[in-house]
Structure 1
Amino acid sequence: MSNKQLVAGILPLGDGMATAELPEQLRATARSVGLCLSGGGSRALSCAMGQLRGLRALGKLDQLFAISSVSGGTWANSLFTYLPERISDDDFLGRPVLNPGALTLLLGPNRLDHLPPNNLGWVPTRLGLFSDLDAILELKARYGYANDDLWQGLIGERILKPYGLWQPDGSGFDPRYFSWTSAYLHAGNGILARNPGLSARDFVCVERRRPFPIFNTALFNNDGATADLIPFECNFQLGVRQFFPAAPEQLGAIGGGLLDSFAMGSDYLAEATPGQVDTSLPARAFALNDIAGCSSAAFAQALEEQYPELSGLVPRYAYWPVGDRRRQPAHHYRFADGGSLENLGVNAMLARGLRRLIVCVNTDEPLGRDAGSGEIIVSSDLPPLFGLQPYQPGLGYVPYGPSQPGQGPTRQYRHSQVFPTASFAALKSGLYAARQAGGAILLRQTLPVLPNRWFDVPGQDAVEILWVYNDFVASWWNQLAEDVRLAIDVEGLGQFPRYNTFTQLELSAVLVNALAHLSCWCLASDSTLGNPGGLSNAQMVGAMFD
């Protein structure tokens, strides 16, 4: 191997192929529990901070097998997974306060206006439409970025850099790849053994015990207006699991397995030993800010549409298919926010055969009823998993089908069904009943899994899901001091806890802390209100691990 080549591992997949070649500690078992952190910008990150805090308070965080995340959830997941050991989890996640009446504004240990120096909650305070635009223009002037590198640069500067996870060189790019643990890097026939030109200094690694991360994004199969989105996942390996043969509507063949993440942006050269290939050295490292930027690319799309001078802001990368690598060269694909395809990260877990999921629907859409029909309205993230389009006034929940492919953004959700349509009624009624009871909105369901070739999901007889829905919780709110409620209402423009994904990207410490405390309480408190069988919130969560 020359200094301009790499030896990368590949994992052929597709059509439900088992992941038997994964290291044993990364194979899910029947008892493995996964956590799904939805997209939703700063709101989703703040919810995720509280949810991780709550699971830690229950002693369950280290028992998770994996964390699958999208967009703002990926901001939280990437920082949590790769957090340097010098930063404590207490500082990063904050401490649980399960008595809402103990929260204060300005004084005492439970002040809402205070964030520890290395707290995850600082991220939303550094974001915002206009400040992000200024930072993007400054980064372009400083480094001369191409437009399709600007959003990832912003993610590095505003989200990862304060935690030491973005260290750009003079060209403006972090030269470090990312992988799993140091032991994984140094294993016999591992990445470093296969690539003597690389060293541990070239990688960001997981420094403490953490669940396996799955960062979700998507790629457009062509550059046209009617392009489809293909699910793309990333951790120490990345790619499209299912194989999509070359077709007239695609740039070429896509997918068929995963590739070591450090080889992203390379060209396939030749076969090496079984399960390994020779590739070219990428023009630059595919760094942590690259996948975090792809997973949250909806914000780049919004800025691109609003400011013509930022045309091409959406990330674009060279990628070749594991399934047709000998014939298909790399093409440059546009990448999309993972939430533009499936905003909960559920299907990536089901593709691995997990049977127990805690799914955090960190939405800004309230649970409610249509004033005319009385139909229950839930987050638009949920119906597509059951083969239904998001709610439409006057039409209700319309099934996806050849004559009903969906319009606009909802068209991309038509490939997402993994649960029977008949099970949706129990989901929406159960969530709404929990909302009306005034307690945490928790609902446990046992659901069969339908095979889904688009996401490489095999069928399963049953999975256990604990749905956790972000919405107003009267019992928590009513325990707050009056001045605390007033401050949250005023600063949050009356939107707590459903801060708008785009217009409320910048959040104050008060708003971040309020949402994180609520999200923690919903998982870890002893409140039983609205739960079946008199179970507390903590018992509802704990039962998922029994």
Structure 2
Amino acid sequence: MDSNRLVAGITVLARGSQTLGTAPIPNPADRQHPGDGLEGLPQAVPGAVGLCLSGGGSRALSCAMGQLRALRWLGKLDELFVISSVSGGSWANSLFTYLPEHISDDDFLGQPVLDPSQLSLLIGPHRLDHLPPHNLGEVPTRLGLWRDLDAILTLKERHGYANDELWQGLIGEQVFKPYGLWQPDASGHDPRYFTWTRRYLQGQNGILAHNPGLKPGSFLCVERARPFAIFNTALFSNDGPDADLIPFECNFQLGVRHNFPAQPSQQGAIGGGLLDAFAMGGRYLGEANGGGWVSSGRPARPFALNDIAGCSSAAFAQMLEEQYPVLSGLVPRYPYWPVAERAEQDTLHYRFADGGSLENLGLNALLARGLRRLIVCVNTDQAISRDPASGDIVLSDDLPPLFGLQPFQPGLGYLPYSAQQPGQGAARLYRHNQVFARQAFAQLQAGLFAARQAGGAILFRQRLPVLANDWFDVPAQDSVELLWVYNDFVSSWWKALPFDVRAALELESGGNFPRYNTFTQLELSATLVNALAHLSCWCLASDSTLGNQGGLSNAQMLTSMFD
């Protein structure tokens, strides 16, 4: 085998195609060992349930830890078909998916405490200032502006990183390395690619069969039964001020699902299918071996797990780049070629963006696969409120674009997206996100607001038809079932806390529990992480019925999605 070449699998997607590989993965509920019978990527199966873990840095990671803990406690984590994530949610999702076998899920996710009166500060079995070894919540305690800057500059000095590799290096060092998922060699990069299970890797028609120069040790694999994972990011269509963001997803195949033919607003043609992740960063050389395999140039270095996690959370890189000129070019940039028009265009270099700069919930990636049951965790820092002037119910900016509406603007309300009203600034980039009818947004507003006012968990179940969306390759569907899970203040849980715990959380969070602004507060203490994770777990696993539809408990609201 030519050492400068790789043979990689591709999947060319027709619009709205659910099939991502050569054969379906069995339903996770029926899977005894990860990868049994696996020859391709998953299809949505009847009754499949997907989980969306939104972006939001350390706050989103902390919420995700509690949400995964609740699902595990209720016996539903293994029944999930897929977890789709963005930014801080992708930190949690990638660590959970690839967690080494020697780290227990008990330590990694922690244990539920569904009676908040049992939480304490410094003593007792449920003390908030303590994190078990290898707990997911340790990640926010290792982050922070000055610590991050020091680590970035150290990486640059020690390994001579280009600026557009520094953020991903930081994510490797601070997020993945403590769990053994980033092991840099002398070059400062992890030499391992990532894929699905060893059975998938070593299958009769698998990656190693087509690439005898690669070995099992060349890959990071999923070591235990896990839901399929999707990490969402985006790429800029060009480097100019008129650039659009185009959705880019990654699992063990990656790319842009929809085919975007070359246009004046783009560098060239983009997308049209997915490519095995280990070939990311190479260049298309030709078809190989038939059956959806191509020959690709070997990347300058492996596209590792910290690379996709860094892309998915690139908003923080952009913030640092804007504040510190020495870090100009910090936003990740990679070579990428279009699957659909691969023979007609050279590989181009694209600047990548935080997935949340386009669609911060990871919802559309699941709708593109035809899933009909979705648990959508909106792990936001925006409170549910009522505008005093207009009376409008104001929700997170992540939600209205899904209904064809711009985020709320004081004095203007929720303006519909149109050719005349494309939105300004960040809101302009959300204009392609609509998948639900505009009139359904009022129902969501009312449902979430009522739950917030009742003082219980902010949960709302909604059945909606899906509108076709070419940008995200979403097909129309007659209906999907959605359980919206919204991070905000829960008065009944708060009042049950011991007085000293409430006082400490109020002080540490600057009066903003649980809506930490992790752009200004990326580093979180163990106390803040644990408190938010316990709240997020309680909202999905407790027997509280306060404010819930049909008088169901929080746990029943969640488990009924699997019925």
TM range (shorter): over 0.9
Deviation of 1:22 after TM superposition, in Å, equals 4.3
Quote how far apart the aligned CAs of 1:501 are: 2.5
CA contact (8 A) 2:436 2:465 kept: yes
Q: In 2, Cα distance between the equivalents of 1:30 and 1:465?
A: 15
Which residue does 1:500 correspond to in 2?
517
Task: State how 1:5-20 maps to structure 2 within 5 Å.
Answer: 5-19=5-19
How many residue pairs were aligned?
546
CA-atom RMSD in angstroms = 0.7
| Partner Cα distance (1:355, 1:372) in 2 | 38
The Cα shift of 1:291 comes to 0.1
Letter in 1 for 2:318: Q
Query: Which residue of 438, 445, 455 corresponds with 1:428?
Result: 445
- Could you state the TM-score of these two structures normalised by the residue count of structure 1? 0.99
Distance (Å, rounded) in 1 between the aligned partners of 2:503 and 2:108: 27
Equivalent residue, structure 2, for 1:183:
199
Distance 1:34 1:542 in 2: 13
- Out of 529, 547, 560, the position equivalent to 1:530 is 547
Aligned positions of 1:36-47 closer than 5 A: 36-47=52-63
Structure 2 residue 156 is matched with structure 1 residue 143: no
Tell me how far apart the structure 2 counterparts of residues 3 and 316 of structure 1 sit (CA, whole Å): 25
Given that residues 108 and 135 in structure 2 are in contact (C-alpha distance below 8 angstroms), is that contact kept between their aligned partners in structure 1? yes
Alpha carbons 2:60, 2:380 under 8 Å: kept: yes
1:96 counterpart residue number: 112
Q: Is the 8 A contact 2:242 2:265 kept in 1?
A: no
> SS at the partner of 1:415?
coil
Q: Which amino acid aligns with 2:129?
A: D
SS at match of 1:117: coil
Q: Distance in 2 between matches of 1:515 and 1:57?
A: 17
- 2:345 is matched with which residue: 328, 337, 345? 328
- Whole-angstrom CA distance in 1 between matches of 2:260 and 2:441: 29
- Worse-matched range after superposition: 13-22 or 461-470: 13-22
- Counterpart Cα distance in 2 of 1:327 and 1:491: 56
Q: Deviations over 1:68-119 (max 9, x none)?
A: 0000000000000000000000000000000001101111110000000110
Q: Distance in 1 between matches of 2:218 and 2:21?
A: 25
AA matched with 2:82: A
Residue in 2 aligned with 1:158? 174
Q: Does 1:118 align with 2:134?
A: yes
Deviation at 1:274, TM superposition (A): 2.3
Structure 2 contact 18–43 (Cα < 8 Å) conserved: no
Structure 1 gap ranges (5+): none
Provide the C-alpha distance between the structure 2 equivalents of 1:200 and 1:21, rounded to a whole number of angstroms.
21
1:407 maps to which of 424, 430, 444: 424
Q: Which amino acid aligns with 1:455?
A: F
> SS of the residue aligned with 1:277?
strand
> Of 213, 217, 237, which aligns to 1:201?
217
2:308 to 291, 303, 315: 291
Q: Which runs of 4+ in 1 moved over 3 A?
A: 20-23
Q: Distance in 1 between matches of 2:175 and 2:21?
A: 34
For residue 208 of structure 1, give the secondary structure of its aligned residue in structure 2: coil
What secondary structure sits across from 2:496 in the alignment? coil
Q: Which runs of structure 2 are paired with 1:252-331 in the superposition (5 Å)?
A: 252-272=268-288, 273-331=290-348
- 1:30 match: secondary structure: coil
Q: 2:246 aligns with which of 221, 230, 254?
A: 230
Alignment of 1:49-60 (within 5 A): 49-60=65-76
Give the CA deviation at 1:20.
Answer: 6.2
The C-alpha deviation readout for 1:243-296, integer Å capped at 9, x for no partner, is 000111111100000000000001111111121111111111000000000000
The unaligned stretches of length 5 or more in structure 2 are: 26-41
C-alpha distance in 2, partners of 1:304/1:527? 45
Instruction: Give the letter aligned to residue 543 of structure 2.
Output: D
What is the alpha-carbon distance in structure 1 between the residues aligned to residue 17 and residue 80 of structure 2? Answer: 23
Aligned partner of 1:68 among 84, 100, 110: 84
- In structure 2, the residue matched to 1:479 is 496
* Counterpart secondary structure, 1:484: helix
Question: Could you say what secondary structure the match of 1:444 adopts?
Answer: strand
Determine what percentage of the aligned residue pairs are the same residue: 73
Aligned to 1:367: 384
Q: Which letter does structure 2 place at the counterpart of 1:142?
A: R
**Secondary structure of 1:113's partner?**
coil
Q: Deviation string for 1:311-347 (max 9, x for gaps)?
A: 0000000000000001111100000000000000000
SS in 2 for 1:478: helix
**CA-CA distance at 1:176 after TM superposition:** 0.2
Q: 1:213 aligns with which of 217, 222, 229?
A: 229
**What is the SS of the residue equivalent to 2:158?**
helix
What residue number does 1:169 align with? 185
Q: Take 2:182 and 2:447, find their aligned partners in 1: how far apart are those partners? A: 43
**Which residue is 1:351 aligned to?**
368
Shift of 1:156: 0.2
- The offset of 1:533, in angstroms, is 1.7
1:247 equivalent in alignment to 2:268:
no
Specify the SS of the correspondent of 2:172. helix
Deviation of 1:17 after TM superposition, in Å, equals 2.7
* Higher mean C-alpha deviation, range 484-493 or range 458-467: 484-493
User: 1:376 aligned to 393, 396, 419, which one?
Assistant: 393
Q: Helix, strand or coil: the match of 1:188? A: coil
* SS of equivalent residue, structure 1 residue 133: helix
In terms of mean alpha carbon deviation, does 518-527 or 265-274 score higher? 265-274
Shift of 1:29: 1.1
